[in-house]
Amino acid sequence: MEQALKDRIVVVTGGCGLIGQSFVRAVADAGAVAVIADIDLDASLRAADTLMAQEPGRRIEARRTDITSTESVEALVASLLQDHGRIDGLVNNAYPRNKQYGRKLEQVTYDDFCDNMSRHVGGYFLTSQKFVEAFKQQGHGVIVNMASIYGVVAPRFSIYEGTSMTMPVEYAAIKAAVIHLTRYFAQYTKGLGIRVNSLSPGGVLDKQPEAFLDAYRALSSGKGMLAPDDLQGTLLFLLGDASKYVNGQNLIVDDGWSV
């Protein structure tokens, strides 16, 4: 298999999660050193060991990282530069939120709304800021921010009817902000050898109720909810040289759901 990211150093925040582990596999299989940057170090180490055992030759590292902590993010960047001499890519995939996240609009408090916005958008800002500092010094670097179709289109509340699910107001605000944060960083770093793009997936299958899956699928081109691996091709495109003239863009992968 062609290794489009051969020997590159690529960080995936939230690399222990459902989408995160799929991204780590894809990055490692493309020839890169994949770095799981997750707040749960034990889970990161287990994930790295499992993924490397599944496919000998994969290079995967695990580093505890809290994207809401300046000290933690700075330590991550410093350790990578010390160990590898450079960092080639950052995938902002972590999903920090508090225990109250996910309530219906009427139940969301002002403090919780602000806290969740701060954790997620603030975390993506912080990692992007600190990695850009390193990218500027070395003259190159790529950032891919995980956004969402709900950062692009208004919620379709009808698909949640008959279930206990909702579309959190924080999520819509967060993902819309991530898309524009992407454009800001792309414009700010233009001409420095740095590219910043976002990837907006549709819904990803994760044990949702059948009523929701049926309603969601009816609005798609056929598949409906995606598997995490359905996003790998777009991620590798954005990280690799095939997209070297793609900057400040938001790529939607949703089986036509948002059309």
**Residue 171 is among the residues annotated as catalytic for this protein:** yes
The residue assigned the tokens 């598997």 is: 227
Task: Report the DSSP beta bridge partners of residue 143.
Answer: 90, 196
State how far the Cα of 230 lies from the Cα of 226, in Å rounded to an integer: 6
Torsion sign over Cα 241, 242, 244, 246? negative
**Virtual torsion, Cα 5, 7, 8, 14, nearest 10 deg:** 90
Count of CB atoms situated within 10 Å of the CB of 173: 17
Among 160, 171, 184, 216, which one carries the catalytic annotation?
171
207: buried, middle or exposed (CB in 10 Å: 19+, 13-18, 0-12)? exposed
Q: In what order do the strands lie in the sheet with 194-201?
A: 59-64, 33-38, 9-13, 89-92, 141-146, 194-201, 250-253
Number of helical H runs and strand E runs in the chain? 7, 7
User: Amino acid identity, residue 196?
Assistant: V
**Closest Cα to residue 35, out of 45, 43, 19, 24?**
24
Active site residues: 171
